[in-house]
Amino acid sequence: MQIRKINTGDFEFDCRISGNKENELIILLHGFPETSYMWIDLMEKLSSIGFYCVAPNMRGYSKNACPKGVKNYKTQKLVLDILNIADVINKNKFHLIGHDWGAGIGWNVVYQNPERIISWTALSVPHPRAFWKAIKTDKQQKKKSRYIGWFLFPIIPEIVLRKNDFKKFRRLWKNSSDAELNDYLTVFRRKGTLTASLNYYRANLGQGKKQPIGDITKPTLFIWGKNDLAVGKVATENNYKYIKGDYTFLELEGGHWLIQTNYQEVEKGIIEHLTKNKTAHNNGNK
């Protein structure tokens, strides 16, 4: 496992990298409040079976890719970051895996750039239209999503979340290793990171800011835990309506932090999905 800085022109992303760069590329997108550290075990496994894995600390989480201002965290800019990273690596096509906000951004990447995607895996967060329809129509989802409204307030969430050295985040990280916890804290203690990460919500989920996307045509795996604190059953059961390509739904006995609590099941499902969709020749995705 290496940590490499990838310069896309305007920004420099801190990326974890594993495997032979001649192999098919997998880009892995972390969510909130985590970093690319969450993917280490999976990256080592996937690189051992013939993939090249790159997991960026996304915009706001990388020290030299943390612009000020809510407008700099709009979905379209976050999507462009992923495409720019792939371009720097000189890969035209890639597999994409995302969790939480990484999944939210990933759905947009896949919809807008299907010609660049080999396969898509989303953890915890379904297609945006399935999610927002559930928020409008399902009482349980409305309740689960109340925190979003709080995140939209300026300043106050930062003050509360920073208390006692991120005590609220530490509760979410209770299944993380000490090394993972230390990595997360190192990033979130850095000036600007917390506000940047909350700006994902402020730029994209405020009143009138949602831009719905259409149907997904690429091979898709969706993994969800029945006890997810943020995403309910209605949103996940309606996910298939927005996927016109090959679709697999893997429902697990777990919560939101599946990579920590249900790792073996997640790894198995992802390996099956990637293996089934691997292109015939590695040099075909340059």
Query: Is the CB of residue 286 less than 8 Å from the CB of residue 90?
Result: yes
In one-letter notation, the amino acid at residue 189 is R
Q: Tell me the DSSP string of 108-130.
A: HHHHH-GGGEEEEEEES---HHH
Which residues neighbour 80 within 8 Å (Cβ) at sequence distance 6 or greater?
none
| pLDDT tens per residue, range 43-57 | 999 999 999 999 999
Q: How confident is the model at residue 282 (pLDDT cuts 50, 70, 90)?
A: very low
Residue 207 has pLDDT above 80, yes or no: no
Q: Which residue has the tokens 């073996």?
A: 264
For residue 209, the model assigns a pLDDT of 65
Q: 206 pairs with which residues across the strands?
A: none
For residue 281, the model assigns a pLDDT of 42
| pLDDT tens per residue, range 82-108 | 999 999 999 999 999 999 999 999 999
In one-letter notation, the amino acid at residue 130 is A
The secondary structure of residue 249, as a DSSP letter, is E
User: Rounded mean pLDDT of 174-203?
Assistant: 97
Q: pLDDT > 70: what percent of the chain?
A: 96
Across the chain, mean pLDDT equals 95
Q: Where do the domains of the chain lie?
A: 2-285
Which residues neighbour 258 within 8 Å (Cβ) at sequence distance 6 or greater?
99, 123, 124, 223, 225, 252, 265, 266
Strands (E), 8-67: 12-18, 24-29, 51-56
CATH topology of domain 2-285: Rossmann fold (3.40.50)
Q: Which residue has the tokens 């720097």?
A: 88
For residue 212, the model assigns a pLDDT of 79
On the question of a cis peptide bond just before residue 33, with omega within 30 degrees of 0, the verdict is: yes
